[in-house]
Homo-oligomer: A and B are copies of this chain.
């Protein structure tokens, strides 16, 4: 999409790249401000070291559900505690609190209930096969939370303080909810930021709440089965668009997707594959990123490629799993110029793969399938992890993904090793080990 010229005179509202630049220089901004006589003192920053803990009495702790508990599919089970921190525009961040998981009390006028001043993150904490408790690249989620809050006019914070709070909650609850003798279990971590000011005006909220809780989820991983079935979206249901907020993890991206998603499920598909524009550009699948492995035509070199949508249009989420897949593929798979690749990983027996981030269309996938060049497709995300795609329904036809999942499987095994500390990946830098003996 060609944009009209930007003259610097009209509103220079924060953009995707603008927010990225701002993060590099401005966050944490308030703490770095050098005060002069004329400046007001900086407002208190979010500070995890001030955490005030009020624990649930041992007798009132909930029983830990077994993994086969059918109620887990409802995704309603929280752990015992949560963390909250309040902000307002005149007094800054208050001391965060850790207390029993309990309902929130919000004015019926609260901004987050009317104007979607809300954003969140999705992460997991893993009980490793080496007994350790790990997060996976959590600093990336905390940085993305800051980008999301900035996009919807919610307050800034130092991302590393949110990470400390997440670790504190995991040290408190994951220790018990992920027993050391049950490696392979995980909890889902949901940090969320809400505009809480009770005022009906459409305006930047002057009050906000950071809330972090843990939920017990079933394993959504589609495993080694044939894979999930996707339904390509129609032009009358578009998830995101240039100049919008598809790149941010804001609530506004989700509610409007539920009608199409429900229709897909009713028709026997697992997720919507979201297309964009008249060319049918492939963006995301459900709330996950989307990858294909195909071979280019002989006239284009017959190269094996791992392809996913690029980020700079701002319509695709910068998924932590997406980024990790790309980085692992570039590092561990033999590349098109393989001399500079790590040939010691598991992937050394595989054919060279070129990793490509670009916009590509549904028709390109259909052509690759029709010409026998489509090998694999998978979605990547925190909730569904790496799920192979079995078929895509597009304009009346099922495009069947024929591959045996060699590359999908390789990438999934790498990530599994890092997340659960096994298969020689125990010391990988992406694994963040939670100190279970130290809350803050």
Contacts and interface: CB of A to CB of B under 8 A. Distances in A.
Interface string A406-425: 00000000000000000000
B153 A11 contact: no
A166 to B, nearest CB: 15
Contacts of A30: none
Nearest to A232: B10
Interface string A1-36: 111111101111111101000000000000000000
Contacts of A204: 258-259, 261-262
Contacts of A104: 105-108, 110, 113
Contacts of A215: 109, 200
A267 B15 CA distance: 18
A43 interface: no
B116 A203 contact: no
Contact of A113 (B112, B150, B245, B396): B112
Contacts of A78: 108-109
A79 to B, nearest CB: 12
Q: Which of A16, A251, A262 has the most CB of B within 10 A?
A: A251
Interface stretch (A44-52, A236-244, A323-331, A335-343): A236-244
Contacts of A263: 11-13
A104 B7 CA distance: 46
B75 A213 contact: no
A368 B146 CA distance: 43
Contact of A236 (B74, B192, B238, B243): B243
A255 B15 contact: no
A250 B6 CA distance: 30
Contacts of A278: 1-4
**Most chain B beta carbons < 10 A, residue from A106, A201, A234:** A234
A267 B12 CA distance: 10
A397 B9 CA distance: 8
Contact of A255 (B10, B103, B192, B250): B250
Contacts of A203: 258, 261-262
Which 6 A-B pairs rank lowest in CB-CB distance, beginning with the nearest?
Answer: A238-B243, A252-B252, A116-B251, A9-B396, A153-B258, A115-B254
